[in-house]
Amino acid sequence: MKKFKYIIIGNSAGAIGGVQGIRKVDQASEILIITSEPWETYSRPLISYWLQGKVKREKMHYRDPSFYKENNCRIRYNTSVEKINPQDQTMALADGEIIGYEKLLVATGSIPFVPPIKGLPKNLKESKSIFTFTTLADAIGVKKGLTNDARVVILGAGLIGLKAAEAMVNQCQSVTVVDLADRVLPSVLEDKSSDIVKKHLETQAVDFMLETSITEIRDKEVLLSNGKSLPYEILILAVGTKPQCTLIQEARGDIGRGIVTDHHQETTLKNIYAAGDCTQSLDISSETQKNLAILPNAFLQGEVAGMNMAGEEAVYDQAFPLNSVGFMGLYILSAGTYDGVAYETQTPEQYKKIFIKDNVLKGYIIIGDCMRGGIYTDLIREQTDLSTIDLKMLITSPQIMAFNQSSRKEKLAQSH
């Protein structure tokens, strides 16, 4: 049986963070990366831009292909890990091979949630007209079926559904987004901001049917809960993702809203670490455990896991929701939790809402000009005490917050 000092399952943001974390401490030992996908690491958020024709395949690399050699990584593509046995620190691969590890990082990400709709084909992967939209393979499948006269129906008005809509709307006859929720981006935005985004997308020819669900999928037609039907050549199922925790669950590790880890990213199983979309994180803005399926979180968790795997103590305790996304020229920046007293401003260039509780910025939403949004993100991350701060200034001129406390006091004094 082959044995490796470090094995990483997955080859995306969490895994790459893991390699970089290990290399901060241990520059020599070989790292084995095992991935069920056939590609070198790519940036998952770019699949919609590739489908849109805005990004070439070679520009999708999350790291240059030379990364593996430079970091002494051996990589096995198209290979699934089937089972982990923490007792003897081994794992079984899909082809039956058993390999051993000293330290293991599980960065298995998330998988699309596919709702049990009547008429759904048994093997979605073989369908030429019904797709999920989370991998490059999905995007390649969609591209094959996308023609100028295709009618596209997207189930789900979340980030992935709207990114798919943006990618396709100018390459087909129509795009209709169906969602049970009464607003778009329901888990990221509240009423008013959501309405701004919806109206913007409608001006770009994306149609919406909200408070509606698909009750049956037929060949080239979906039936809706409102009694109507929609014809389709392409149907995208984008109702959300779920953390891929099976390996740890079957090995009897703790699972909450994802794989449970401590601040070192170690799971409840000795010498097994986890990072990225497959984990649960403590959201510092709401002080609750969440599955934060965002790329920076995956990378940072992976990096901390890698450092600990290589023997240096590192801690990750600054997780919170953070979204930075654009739809057809309209930018959205949001972070934290929408809890506390809300302060809202609106100009032709920008809509902004910030949420303050117990003198701490808990969350914010900016639509349009997002230039100064990073300052709010820092305030959430640092949990800065805002008790001495002029609220009006915080809302209208956040750049003042970028200064240290003494110069901030000076600046604030000048403004009175």
Ligand X SMILES: Cc1cc2nc3c(=O)[nH]c(=O)nc-3n(C[C@H](O)[C@H](O)[C@H](O)COP(=O)(O)OP(=O)(O)OC[C@H]3O[C@@H](n4cnc5c(N)ncnc54)[C@H](O)[C@@H]3O)c2cc1C
Spatial neighbors of 29 by CB under 8 A, at least 6 apart, are 5, 6, 22, 72
Minimum distance, C-beta of residue 413 to ligand X, in the bound complex (Å): 39
The stretch near ligand X (CB under 6 A) out of 8-16, 145-153, 263-271, 405-413 is: 8-16
d(CA 198, CA 185): 9
52 lies in the binding site for ligand X (CB under 6 A): no
Minimum distance, C-beta of residue 408 to ligand X, in the bound complex (Å): 30
290 lies in the binding site for ligand X (CB under 6 A): no
Question: Exposed (0-12), middle (13-18) or buried (19+): which is 166, by Cβ within 10 Å?
Answer: buried
Judged by CB under 6 A, the residue of 7, 22, 81, 380 near ligand X is: 81
Measured at the alpha carbon of residue 395, what is the angle toward residues 389 and 397, in degrees to the nearest 5?
Answer: 85
110 versus 213: smaller Cβ distance to ligand X: 110
Judged by CB under 6 A, the residue of 5, 20, 45, 411 near ligand X is: 45
> Shortest CA distance to 139 belongs to which of 238, 225, 275?
238
277 lies in the binding site for ligand X (CB under 6 A): yes
134 lies in the binding site for ligand X (CB under 6 A): yes
> Shortest CA distance to 239 belongs to which of 107, 116, 367?
116
Binding mask 91-130 for ligand X (x = CB under 6 A): ----------------xxxx--------------------
Spatial neighbors of 159 by CB under 8 A, at least 6 apart, are 185, 188, 323, 325
Judged by CB under 6 A, the residue of 6, 33, 35, 255 near ligand X is: 35
Encoded amino acid at 279, one letter? T
Facing residues of 352 across strands?
A: 345, 366
Judged by CB under 6 A, the residue of 276, 363, 368, 373 near ligand X is: 276
- Binding residues for ligand X, rule: CB under 6 A, are 9-15, 34-37, 44-45, 47-48, 80-81, 107-110, 133-134, 159-160, 163, 244, 247, 276-277, 293-296, 298, 325
